């Protein structure tokens, strides 16, 4: 199991209930309801606007969930206090409030998760577009010979590189695998129960296959951005050696209105001083490579176990057929 290092956006846990933060198909806004070809035609400004809009929607949904949770907690506290003093009417009133708020909280939790997925989708599209833009700038830099033009390109390259780094810092840095529940054949399991357990293993194996594909896509994007950042740093360093060029060195400013962590349950706040530095791209790639190996091993174990369950059913059926054949003889 890989331990989590929470940045601005905590990691989605993936274990027995796989796919919570994968298989994203939600749309960010009306713009992303367009056909795939039209999406590719969106400008960087439009993609950035869509991303910021998704963040605003997520923030509003998260804050609404916090309000509902606060009301639910107050009603729960009122219920306990009324019970301590024997106030039956007070208990009934508080209990009615908790019954009403429970479904609302569940619905709002689903909305927060949906908005979190939309943020991830919008950010991924913006990252891809910025990477393509950076690649274009670096190609121009390879052809540029005029010192003034190279200095201008260095400024644009550095700023685009910083924007990619800023977006990456807001991502879920890792995939966390929870312990895999052990499914075994019990002494009272008949063939139907064994067949059901084999089917459950098949589903889990398929989910891990999907997760493996998601990890591969993440690795591809991270390795692409790492390559582009190294190329950017090399180009900018070369320009700086031959001119007094003051370039931006990091993401601009800091947010005065922090974005709540994606999909983090309200009330689960990190202890003061517990925040760690964001992982570097190299570290994130290393973690994902290790995770990928573990996922591959889990897939192999699950497939082998499912087949062993079916083999046991076949053996028992063969024994029954032999028994009936012997009785008929």
| For the chain, domain boundaries | 18-121
Contacts of 245 (CB under 8 A, 6+ apart): 151, 154, 155, 239
Please tell me the predicted confidence (pLDDT) of residue 277: 73
Could you tell me if residue 60 is left (phi over 0), alpha (psi between -120 and 50 degrees) or otherwise beta?
Answer: alpha
Question: Confidence class of residue 327 from pLDDT cuts 50, 70 and 90?
Answer: low
Higher pLDDT among residues 250 and 122, named by residue: 122
Mean predicted confidence (pLDDT) in 161-182: 85
Please tell me the predicted confidence (pLDDT) of residue 172: 73
Name the residue among 311, 255, 220, 293 with its Cα closest to residue 2.
293
Residue 314 scores a pLDDT above 60: yes
Question: Confidence class of residue 324 from pLDDT cuts 50, 70 and 90?
Answer: low
Residue 225 scores a pLDDT above 80: yes
**Mean pLDDT (the chain, rounded):** 80
Residue 31 scores a pLDDT above 80: no
- Of the listed ranges 38-42, 289-293, 295-299, the least confidently predicted one is 38-42
Contacts of 166 (CB under 8 A, 6+ apart): 251
Question: Confidence class of residue 300 from pLDDT cuts 50, 70 and 90?
Answer: very high
Question: Confidence class of residue 311 from pLDDT cuts 50, 70 and 90?
Answer: very high
Residue 267 scores a pLDDT above 70: no
Top-confidence range, 25-29, 137-141, 167-171, 313-317: 137-141
Please tell me the predicted confidence (pLDDT) of residue 101: 95
The percentage of the chain sitting over the pLDDT mark of 70, rounded to a whole number, equals 74
Give the Cα separation of 89 and 82 in Å (integer).
8
Please tell me the predicted confidence (pLDDT) of residue 118: 95
- Of the listed ranges 140-144, 178-182, 228-232, 294-298, the least confidently predicted one is 178-182
Q: Report whether 19 contacts 105 (CB < 8 A).
A: no
Q: Report whether 264 contacts 63 (CB < 8 A).
A: no
Residue 26 scores a pLDDT above 70: no
Please tell me the predicted confidence (pLDDT) of residue 5: 36
Beta strands (DSSP E) in 175-221 are 176-177
- Of the listed ranges 58-72, 83-97, 250-264, the least confidently predicted one is 250-264
């Amino acid at each position: 199991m890989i331990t989590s290092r929470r940045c601005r956006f905590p990691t989605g846990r993936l274990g027995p209930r796989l796919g919570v933060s994968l298989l994203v198909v939600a749309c960010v806004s009306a713009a992303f309801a367009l056909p795939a070809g039209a999406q590719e035609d969106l400008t960087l400004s439009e993609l950035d606007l869509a991303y910021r809009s998704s963040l605003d929607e997520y923030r509003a949904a998260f804050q609404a969930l916090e309000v509902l949770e606060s009301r639910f907690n107050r009603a729960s506290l009122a219920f306990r206090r009324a019970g301590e003093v024997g106030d039956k009417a007070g208990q009934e009133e508080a209990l009615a409030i908790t019954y009403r708020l429970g479904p609302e909280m569940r619905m709002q939790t689903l909305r927060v998760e949906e908005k979190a997925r939309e943020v991830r989708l919008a950010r991924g599209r913006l990252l891809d577009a910025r990477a393509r833009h950076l690649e274009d700038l670096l190609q121009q830099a390879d052809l540029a010979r005029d010192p003034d033009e190279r200095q201008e390109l260095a400024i644009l390259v550095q700023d685009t590189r910083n924007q990619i780094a800023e977006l990456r810092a807001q991502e879920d840095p890792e995939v966390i695998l929870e312990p895999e529940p052990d499914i075994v054949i019990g002494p009272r399991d008949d063939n139907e129960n064994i067949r059901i357990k084999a089917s459950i293993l098949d589903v889990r194996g398929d989910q891990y296959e999907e997760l493996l594909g998601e990890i591969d896509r993440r690795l591809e994007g991270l390795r692409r951005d790492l390559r582009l950042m190294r190329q950017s740093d090399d180009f900018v360093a070369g320009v700086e050696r031959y001119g007094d060029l003051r370039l931006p060195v990091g993401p601009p400013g800091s947010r005065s209105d922090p974005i709540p962590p994606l999909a983090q349950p309200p009330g689960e706040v990190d202890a003061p001083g517990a925040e760690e530095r964001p992982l570097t791209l190299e570290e994130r790639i290393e973690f994902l490579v290790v995770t990928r190996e573990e996922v591959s091993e889990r897939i192999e174990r699950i497939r082998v176990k499912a087949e062993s369950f079916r083999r046991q059913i076949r053996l028992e059926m063969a024994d029954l057929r032999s028994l009936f054949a012997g009785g008929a003889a």
